[in-house]
Structure 1
Amino acid sequence: MDKQHKPIASVLILISSVVLVSASEICFNSACYPNEPWIRFPFRLQNVQSKQCGYPGFDLTCDSTNLITSLHFQNTQKFRVQAIDYASQEIWLNDPNNCLPQSLLTLNLSGSPFTGVSYQDFTLFNCSSNFHYELYKFNPIACLSGSGYNIVATSSDRAARILFSSCSFVSTVPVPVQWPFYEQIWSSDLSDDIWLTWDAPQCGKCESRGGRCGLKTNSSNHIECKTRHGLPRGARYAISAGAGVPASLFVLGLVCFLCSKSKACREEGHPVNEFTSTHAPQPIIQLGLDRSIIESYPKTVLGESRRLPKPDDNICPICLSEYKPKDTLRTIPTCHHCFHANCIDEWLPLNAACPVCRNNPKQSSPAPKPAPASDDNV
C-alpha cells in the first residue's frame, strides 16, 4: 500500500472501531412491536437488550402470539404492559387474556420489585342468574360468570349488604389502583389497568431532569444518572444501527472517488482546491429540545370518553394511530397540539419544531389556552 492510501485505510479502521464501540456500550430504547411501550432502563427486553441494559427483576418479554409486551411474576402470572412512566416510576398492567379479575384473585407481588400505587378492596359475590341486577344496577363480570350464575364486585359497604342477603361471598381482593377512591364503587367489572410502582432503582429524579439511568461500569446493582452529551440519543442510535459494513463501503467509495478525481486533476495540470469553509460551508444543525423541557410539557391519560382539547384531533400525527382509552398524551403548550407521549418524546430531542405546525416551542410565544376539557380519567 502506498503512502497516499495509508491515511485512508486508517480512517476507515477508525470509523469501524468507533461504530463497534458505540454499539456495544450504548443501551438503546427498544419496543416489541409497533404501538407497544418503549423499553429502557430499569426494564429490558430479554433476548433483545443485554443484561447490562436492565436492573435485576425488571425483565420483560415479547409475546409473539399476542404481539404484546409481557411482564412475568414469580408465580408464573403474566401481564400485558400497557404503559410505563419512567419519571413517576409507574407501570400499568392488564391481563393478556382479557380477564383481569381472574388474575387479581391470585395476584402475589411478593418477591417482585413492584407494589401497588394505591389499593382499594373489592368484594366479589356469586349470584344466581335470576338476581335483579338491573334493579340494583350491578355490573356482572362476564369472564368470571357462567351458565346460571354471575360474579359481581363492589367496594361499597351498602352494596355488599344487599349482595350478602341474596348471593354467596367469593373473596375480597386488594386491587392496585392509581389513587384511592374517596367514593366507594357500587359495582365494577375490574377491567381497568392495575397501577404498580417500584422503589429501587431510584431513577425518577434523573428522568425528570432529562437524564437516563444506567448501571455503573463493572457493577451489578449500582446505578448512575447519565446526561445527554453530543448528538441526540436518536441520532446516536441511527449512526450505530445504520453504520457498519454498508457505511464503510460508502465511505470507501466516496474516498476512492475523491482520490480518483484528485489524481485526474493533477494529471491534467489543473489545481486542486482544498476543502475550506469558503467552498464547503458546514451545515447548521438544529438540535432538539432538552429532555427536562419535554418532561415539563403536560401529560394526560385518556379516559373512556377520549375527550381532547381539540375534539377533531383524534389521531396521533406522528404514528398515525387513533387515540385509545388509557393512552398517555403529551401536549405542546405553545400550540396545544397533542401526541402520544412516547411519540413526541422521541421526536422533540431530534427536532425542536412541532410536527404539525412546525413552530419552535422555544421561540414561539405561548398561544392562548383553550377552555379545559374534562375527562373521566384526567
Structure 2
Amino acid sequence: MDFTKIITFSLLSLSLLIPTRTTATCTNAVCRRGDPIIRFPFRLKSHQSQSCAYNKGFDLTCGANGVNRTTITLPFSGNFTVELIDYAAQEIWINDPNNCLPKRILTLNLSATPFSGVYSRQFTFFNCPTSEYLRFRPLNPITCLSDKNSTVFATASPRVMNYLSSQSCRLMKTVEVPVRWPFYEQAVSYSELSDNLWLTWRVPRCSRCEIRGGKCGIKNNSSRETICSDAHKPAIPRRARYAIAIGAGIPGSLILFGLFCFVYSKINSCIKRRRLVPDINNTHAHSYQPSVIVMGLDGPTIDSYPKIVLGESKRLPKIDDATCSICLSEYEPKETLRTIPPCQHCFHADCIDEWLKLNGTCPVCRNSPEQISPSDNFNS
C-alpha cells in the first residue's frame, strides 16, 4: 500500500471518530394534527433517533391503547397526554387521558423525572357525605371521584379547609399540585384541578436560544453539552437598551413641562393686557410661582407593588411574558421582578421603578394603576 492510500485511509478513519453534530438530522415530528410539535429536548420514539432527545426522560410516544395522542410516561405516575409544549418558557402541559386529573394528582410523583412544577400549591382533598351536599353547595365537587354516598372536594383555601374540617367531612390527603401561577387564591373547585398540570424542566437550558429563533441541540454524540445554532443576537446590550428606554422619558417630561410654562406665560400676559389699571401693590403677592408637575408615581406607591424573585421555570402571569418590555431583555432565573397589580404585567424591578417615577402608567397597556379601583384587584 503506497503512502497516498495510507494517508487517505487515516483521514477517513479519523473523520469517523470525530463526533458530529446531531441537530441538523433531527427534524420536527408530530403525532396528529393539532398536537404539539416535537423537537429537542423531546423526541418522538417512533420517528426520531435517541440522539434527538436530551435523555430518556424526554421520550414521547403517539399514545397507548390505540389512542393516537402525544403521550408521555412518567415513572411511578403512568401515562399522561401532552396538551402543549412551550419551548421558550420550557414548560409542558399534561393531562389525564381518562379525564380524571384530580385522581392522578393524588398519586403524582415527579421525583424520577426531569420535570418539576412551574409553581406548586397545596391542595387538600375532603370526602363529604352526599346526603349533606346542599350544605356545600357553593363548592364544586370532583365528580370523577364522587359517588352516590360521598362527594369529594379539593381546596387550597385555608378558609374553606377550616369550614370542611368543621363539618362531617373526612380529610383524604394534602398534596402539592403544579399550578400555572402562585398568586391566585384557588378557592376550591374541581375547575381548578381539571386544568392541565404545568410542568417545567431546568436542563437543558434552551429558552434563550428559542426566544432568539435558534435551534437547540446536543453539541456532539459523546456529550450532554448543548449548542444553539441560527440564533439572532440583539444588536444593543441590555444596559444600553435600558438607558435608552429610561432616557427617552426624560426629554418627554421636559418638553411637557416647557409646553406648560409657555401656555401659562401666554395666558398670564393676556390677562395683564386686558387690565385697565395694573395692580402694582399686589405685584409681589401675585408673582408667578413655578409649579412642579409630577409625571410619575411616588416612592411608597411604587414600593407597594409586589416583587417576586424569578424561579428556574421563569413562569409569569402572562403566558407571552418572556422579556421585559422596557429594556427588551429576556428574564433570567433569580432576577427580581415587580408586578403592576391591576393588569399583572411584569418587568425587571429596576426598570419599572425608574419608569414609574417618570410615567404613571403601565408601559404595556398604558393603564394608570391609580385610576383602577382597588376592587378590580384579585382578592387573595
TM-score category (smaller protein): 0.5 to 0.7
CA deviations on 1:24-71 (whole Å, 9 max, x unpaired) are 952111101111000000000112101111110211111152221111
Equivalents in 2 of 1:227, 1:180: separation in Å?
Answer: 35
Equivalents in 1 of 2:161, 2:204: separation in Å?
Answer: 40
Instruction: State the TM-score, normalizing by the size of structure 1.
Output: 0.53
How big is the shift at 1:219?
2.4
Alignment pair present for 1:202 and 2:205? yes
| Preserved contact between residue 155 and residue 187 of structure 1 (Cα < 8 Å) | no
Label 1:101 to 1:291 Cα distance change in 2 as closer, same or farther (>3 A). Answer: farther
Residue number in structure 2 paired with 1:214: 217
| Preserved contact between residue 31 and residue 38 of structure 1 (Cα < 8 Å) | yes
CA deviations on 1:164-220 (whole Å, 9 max, x unpaired) are 122111001111001113424143341011111111000001111111111112324
Residue number in structure 2 paired with 1:44: 43
Equivalents in 1 of 2:87, 2:47: separation in Å?
Answer: 20
Residue number in structure 2 paired with 1:177: 179
CA deviations on 1:308-350 (whole Å, 9 max, x unpaired) are xxxxxxxxxxxxxxxxxxxx899xxxxxxxxxxxxxxxxxxxx
Residue number in structure 2 paired with 1:60: 60
Q: Give runs of aligned pairs for residues 3-42 of structure 1, distance below 5 A.
A: 25-42=24-41
Q: How big is the alpha-carbon RMSD for the aligned residues of Structure 1 and Structure 2?
A: 3.1
Q: Secondary structure of the residue that 2:217 maps to in structure 1?
A: strand
Which blocks of at least 5 consecutive residues in structure 1 are unaligned? Answer: 1-20, 229-289, 293-327, 331-368
Alignment pair present for 1:139 and 2:140? yes
Residue number in structure 2 paired with 1:226: 229
Instruction: State the TM-score, normalizing by the size of structure 2.
Output: 0.53
| Preserved contact between residue 213 and residue 226 of structure 1 (Cα < 8 Å) | yes
Alignment pair present for 1:108 and 2:81? no
Equivalents in 2 of 1:217, 1:23: separation in Å?
Answer: 6
Equivalents in 1 of 2:188, 2:116: separation in Å?
Answer: 25
Q: Secondary structure of the residue that 2:146 maps to in structure 1?
A: strand
Percent pairwise identity: 46
1:154 is matched by which residue type in structure 2?
T
| Preserved contact between residue 120 and residue 181 of structure 1 (Cα < 8 Å) | no
Equivalents in 1 of 2:163, 2:124: separation in Å?
Answer: 12
Equivalents in 1 of 2:109, 2:22: separation in Å?
Answer: 38
Label 1:130 to 1:40 Cα distance change in 2 as closer, same or farther (>3 A). Answer: same
| Preserved contact between residue 133 and residue 139 of structure 1 (Cα < 8 Å) | no
How big is the shift at 1:133?
4.0
Which blocks of at least 5 consecutive residues in structure 2 are unaligned? Answer: 1-19, 235-318, 322-363, 368-375
Equivalents in 1 of 2:92, 2:142: separation in Å?
Answer: 24
How big is the shift at 1:115?
0.5
| Preserved contact between residue 120 and residue 180 of structure 1 (Cα < 8 Å) | yes
> Which structure has the bigger radius of gyration?
2
Equivalents in 2 of 1:102, 1:44: separation in Å?
Answer: 28
| Preserved contact between residue 72 and residue 78 of structure 1 (Cα < 8 Å) | yes
Alignment pair present for 1:166 and 2:168? yes
Q: Hey, which of these two has a bigger chunk of helix by percent?
A: 2
Q: Give runs of aligned pairs for residues 1-378 of structure 1, distance below 5 A.
A: 25-56=24-55, 57-63=57-63, 65-133=66-134, 136-164=137-165, 165-189=167-191, 190-227=193-230
How big is the shift at 1:135?
5.2
Equivalents in 1 of 2:21, 2:169: separation in Å?
Answer: 63
Label 1:219 to 1:147 Cα distance change in 2 as closer, same or farther (>3 A). Answer: same
Equivalents in 1 of 2:21, 2:107: separation in Å?
Answer: 44
Label 1:182 to 1:118 Cα distance change in 2 as closer, same or farther (>3 A). Answer: same
Equivalents in 2 of 1:44, 1:206: separation in Å?
Answer: 18
How big is the shift at 1:76?
4.8
Q: Secondary structure of the residue that 1:131 maps to in structure 2?
A: helix
Equivalents in 1 of 2:137, 2:77: separation in Å?
Answer: 37
